[in-house]
Structure 1
């Protein structure tokens, strides 16, 4: 090797090494600063780096894609047992019906006959209206059902001038291809008559009405509501309807006659009885009523 070799000159070798180290240290420090600024966002928990752009940690794999779930699928997350299901809630009457008497009194075809478009509903002796009650309970039930993953639709949310008419209410559930429809009401029976009941569609086939396909599943829905509403509210089945079972079959309601999807009515209590009225006007009791309705629907859809 020649005399100019790096290894043949110890004195010059040490000086050269020092120069190299002096040059490398600042470069490494700058590199470390750049790495820190780029990687700082990965531990923020919001999935964004310092620039605000989405980032993914290089030390972990991306979460697996969620599995698709169909109505009633066991793949639905345990916290969303109603994922993919459609529920229509039908708050009885409308707070504004009283302002449109001629419109709600016009007759519409319910299949078996013609009947009024709608009515104003009843009220407690203190003036708390059925329409106000049904909207409040329906909104509470909607929140519970949506928390379980259901898509919930209303026939009206106090946002219409009147109605809709009973035939249109049925059509809304049909067009939504609802898995279940519950029409929420409160009764206006004589004072002293207490309790709640569920109205089931009679099997009818007349004119535009044909409930032959929904009578059986609607009964199942009604039975689940009856059980859960009793447990949630502590109320007893009505003592003035039928045999006291809490289930009443009718073929004169357009909302049921014209439905092509499982549907029932629930009369949550008697507004004209003082004891029932005390419950119906209690916000805490209405929350329990909504819970019973939501759980009854959940049980039915998870059968």
Structure 2
């Protein structure tokens, strides 16, 4: 004490250090929390799987030029060549007009005098219409033709075609054969198919397609339609055989399934491609078993519709 200084207070240096450390530790911990939260904010992956990793040494992205990116032109619809199928909807028969002529009429039998009157078929005169044939059990050809025609209409319309009938069971009789031809002509049909079933002798089986003969006389002139009608008939023959499993009739012509005739007003007076199809023989028990079966008639309609489709897509 002789020099006047005070001796150090016991424990003073250790207490000061403790105070400094107590102040620094919370500050450091807060700083670490802030750094950690900023680092987490850089990862925008929802769960970290597949999230891009950013290197701290990567070059910064170049500044935007301000010019918006030009989108790539859309790929044209259609097939690989870019050619569209059918019309705007892509349906194969869009824009096509098809007339289906269900042979005879279920009500013809109630109007014998009207259907017996003669009409001009260009090269001759023939009855307005007939009752058609029937199976031994009484299933009428006119009922068969309407059923197949309606089924074919459904299939063709689904492909985009406009389908018109010469009659839909909604007329008292007919129409007459000359009017049937006129309906297709006025519609400017791309194809006309008249649906029938034959009434040949028992034991004769199969189907056949009737083609127009080249005739000219009176109001008949088939010179412009014989070639396209043959193509229509050939497509129909092929598709009908495939759809139904039926064989071409051997009792008609040369057994090819194609028969050319010049005595049918529905063909003679047509100015558009037209054929008849005799789907089977209603007087044969084995053919009758098929003609009276709804599932077989659906296959027959599919054959008719596909034959028309093939022809119109040539």
Band of TM-score, shorter chain: 0.7 to 0.9
1:224 aligns with 2:235: yes
Structure 2 matches for 1:28-39, cutoff 5 A?
Answer: none
Task: Tell me what 1:213 maps to.
Answer: 224
Contact 1:79 1:148 in 2 (8 A): no
| Cα-to-partner distance string for 1:144-198 (whole Å, 9 max, x where unaligned) | 0000000000000000000000000000000000000000000000000000000
Structure 2 matches for 1:76-225, cutoff 5 A?
Answer: 76=87, 79-225=90-236
Give how far 1:246 is off. 0.1
Task: Tell me what 2:276 maps to.
Answer: 265
| Cα-to-partner distance string for 1:95-140 (whole Å, 9 max, x where unaligned) | 0000000000000000010000000000000100000000000000
Task: Tell me what 2:68 maps to.
Answer: none
Give how far 1:79 is off. 5.0
What is the CA–CA distance in structure 1 between the aligned matches of 2:235 and 2:163, rounded to whole Å? 19
Contact 1:96 1:161 in 2 (8 A): yes
What is the CA–CA distance in structure 2 between the aligned matches of 1:80 and 1:236, rounded to whole Å? 31
| Cα-to-partner distance string for 1:204-233 (whole Å, 9 max, x where unaligned) | 011110000000000000000000000000
Where 2:180 maps in the other structure, the secondary structure is: helix
Task: Tell me what 2:40 maps to.
Answer: none
Give how far 1:270 is off. 0.2
What is the CA–CA distance in structure 1 between the aligned matches of 2:288 and 2:88, rounded to whole Å? 39
Q: 1:250 to 1:75 in 2, by over 3 A?
A: closer
Where 2:202 maps in the other structure, the secondary structure is: coil
Task: Tell me what 2:244 maps to.
Answer: 233
What is the CA–CA distance in structure 1 between the aligned matches of 2:190 and 2:86, rounded to whole Å? 18
1:253 aligns with 2:264: yes
Give how far 1:76 is off. 1.9
What is the CA–CA distance in structure 2 between the aligned matches of 1:272 and 1:160, rounded to whole Å? 27
Runs of 4+ in 1 over 3 A off after TM superposition: none
What is the CA–CA distance in structure 2 between the aligned matches of 1:78 and 1:192, rounded to whole Å? 47
Give how far 1:278 is off. 0.4
What is the CA–CA distance in structure 1 between the aligned matches of 2:302 and 2:87, rounded to whole Å? 21
Where 1:248 maps in the other structure, the secondary structure is: strand
What is the CA–CA distance in structure 1 between the aligned matches of 2:94 and 2:262, rounded to whole Å? 32
Give how far 1:239 is off. 1.1
Q: Over alpha carbons, which structure has the higher Rg?
A: 2
Extract unaligned runs of 5+ from structure 2.
1-73, 79-83
Where 1:298 maps in the other structure, the secondary structure is: helix
Give how far 1:74 is off. 4.4
Query: How many residue pairs get matched?
Result: 235
Where 1:153 maps in the other structure, the secondary structure is: strand
Q: 1:192 to 1:152 in 2, by over 3 A?
A: same
Where 2:192 maps in the other structure, the secondary structure is: strand
What is the CA–CA distance in structure 1 between the aligned matches of 2:284 and 2:300, rounded to whole Å? 17
TM-score, normalised relative to structure 2: 0.73
Contact 1:104 1:119 in 2 (8 A): yes
Q: CA RMSD in A?
A: 1.7
